[in-house]
Structure 1
C-alpha cells in the first residue's frame, strides 16, 4: 500500500485531533516564552544592601603566637639550717601566699639570737662609757666613734638572727599548687648551697633521707628543692615580634589572647627586649606579656593567638570597606537618600581596621551608603534566567548559549514538531 493510500484511510477525526494538539502546544509555547517569563523578569526587583556611617573604635595591632606558662614556677628553699620538725603540705595541695609549708627546729637559732643580743648590750655599754669619758680630745673621740661602730655591727647581727628565726618557718611565696615535696620530718636542712646526702628523692630531684638511704638515719639535704610551687591563677607568656613591628610595641600595651577553642583572655605587655634573635635571616625581638585576671581555664603549655593593640581610637566615623570605591586616587561612596535616590559622593578616607574604613570627610554620621546591589537571576549580559530581558525571540534564530532555531522541525535531543508527534500517540 502506497503512503498516499495509507493517509487517505486515516479518519478525519484523527487529523482534527492532531491539529488541535499541535495548535495548543504552539500557543502555550508562545504564551510562556512571550508573556510569562518576561512578566517574571519584570517582577524581579533589584536588591540593595546598605549601611549607616557611624562611630567605631579603630585599632592597630601586631599579631603573633605564644605559649602560656605559670607566672610562678619555682623551687621554694629554706634560708637557714636545721632539722625539719614539720611538713605542713603534700604534693597536689593548693596553697595561699604566706601559708606555712614546713618548719625547722629553732634551738640553735635561738642561741645565736641570744648571743647577738648579749654582744649588742656589751657594745652599747661600751659606747655609753666612751661618751662619758669623752673629754674632747682626738683620742677620746676616736674611742667613742669605734664604740658606736661596734654597736651598729652588733645590731645588724641581732637583726640577722631575728630574720633567721623567722626563716625557720618556710612559707609559700605566692598562691599556687605544690607539685613536689622534697623534705620529710627529721631531715637536716642546709641553708647554704648543699652538703652531702646519702639518697635522692624522686619528683623534684631533691636529695633527702628516708627509705632507700644509707645506714645513717638522718641526712643533710639542700633546701633548694624542699618544695616546688606552680601558680594556677597567674599566667604569662613570651612571644617574639619582627623588627618591622617592634617599634610599635611598648610596655603597657593591651593584649588580646585567643585559644584554639575561641576562648578570649586579656593581658598587658610587661617588657620589650632590646636585643633580637635571628631566625632564617630575620630579626625577632622578645616581648613578655602578663595575663590579666585569674586566667580561669588556662593551663601550662596552651597555645594562644596574640594580638598586641598599639593604637586604639574611639568615636571614629567609619563605613564598611565594601561601600568604598577607589579609582585613580579618588575614593567615593554611593549615598542612598530616603526616597531611594543614589548619589555617588567623593570622600576622604583614613585608616582601615577589620572590615571598616575611616571616613575623614565627605559624609556625616548617620548617612546611608550603598554596600551592594544585585538583581536575582540577572545574567552577565542583561538577561534573566538565560532569556533576553525584553522577552522577544532572537531575530537571527539563535538562542542564548549558541543554540539555533531548528529548521527541520527537530528540537535538540531528537524531539519532533508537527506530524512527528502523531507517531508517539
Structure 2
C-alpha cells in the first residue's frame, strides 16, 4: 500500500532541485563571460607606439625626396675627338690640383695647330704686303699731285704774262684764251688727283681694317685651338676625390664626352625633387630640415629649378653644417621644406600612419588595458607632429604605430 509523502519533505526536494538548477545557470553564464573575454582580440603593449595629444607650435612643412651630393663637383669633358692613351689614376683616388689624370692622343690636333700657326704667319706677311703696296700707291699719287701743282703754278704765271702782254697790245686775245683754258684744265686735273688721293686713302684704310679684322679672327681661332690642346692635357682642376674616370686605354672619345669627375667629398648639399603642384610651397630662402636616419640637419633652399620635368621640380638645399659625419654622396634622405607656422595647435606625433590631411580611424587608449577605434580628422604636418582638427582632446593617448592587422576591430584589449 502506497504511503503519502509528507508535504515538508516534498518542499525540501523542490528547494534542492531549484538550487542545483540555479547553480548550473550561474556556472554556465560565468563560463560564457570567461569565454567571451578570452575570445576578445588583444594586442601586445610592447608592440604599440603611443603619442599623447598636446597643444603647441607646429612648423608646417612639405615632404620631398632628396639625395646627398657633393657641395662642389666638376666634370671634365673631352675638348676634341681623340682616344685615351694613358691612365694615371683610378676612380676613388684622392687628387691634388694640377695632378695628371689621363693622357689623350693629340698628334692630329698638334699637326692641325702647327698648320694654323703657319697660316697665321702667312696672313701676317699678306697684311704687311698690303700695307707696303698701299703706302707705295699713296706715295705715287702724292708725287703726281706735286708735279700737277708745279705745272699749275707754271701755267698760272704764263696766264698772267699773256694777260699783261695783251694789256700792252703785244699779245692777242686768242692767245690769252688758249693759255687760260690750259690753266683751267690743269687745275681740274690737279683737283681730280687730290680727290683720288683722298679716296684711295679711305679705301686703303678700309682694306687694312678688313685685313686686320680677318687676322684678329684667325688669331682667336689659333688661341682657341691652343686652349683646346691645353685642356686636352687632363689635370685635376682642384683638390678632391676622383668619383669618375674613363680609364679604358685605347677607347675613342668624342668631343664633349665625359672624361672625369672630381668632387669635394668633405662638404655636401642635398638635391631634392617634389611634385610641381607644390611649387608655391618651395621658394628660395625657405628653411629646410634634412632627415638623415635619426639625425636632423638644418639648411636653406638656395636654388629652385624654374622648369618642370616629368611632373616634378628640383631644388637644392644648402646645409648649415656641410661636414656632417652621417652624410654620404648618393645617400637618399627625406627633405622637409618649411612654408608656415601655426600656434596653439592640438598635435600628435607623426609616423607611418599619416598620408596627408584627411580623416583617419585611430585607436585611442580608454584606460591602461583597452583601446577603442575613433574617427580623427588630421590637418597639416611636419617631420615631428601632425595637426589634429577634431576627434581628440589634449591628454588623449593615441596609437601611432601600424595597426592595419586590426582593421575593422572597434575595441582591443592590451595584454
* TM-score range normalised by the length of the shorter chain: 0.3 to 0.5
Q: Indicate the structure whose relative CO is greater, using CA pairs within 8 Å and at least 6 residues apart.
A: 2
Q: Which has the higher helix share?
A: 2
> Which structure is larger by alpha-carbon Rg, 1 or 2?
2
TM-score (norm 2): 0.44
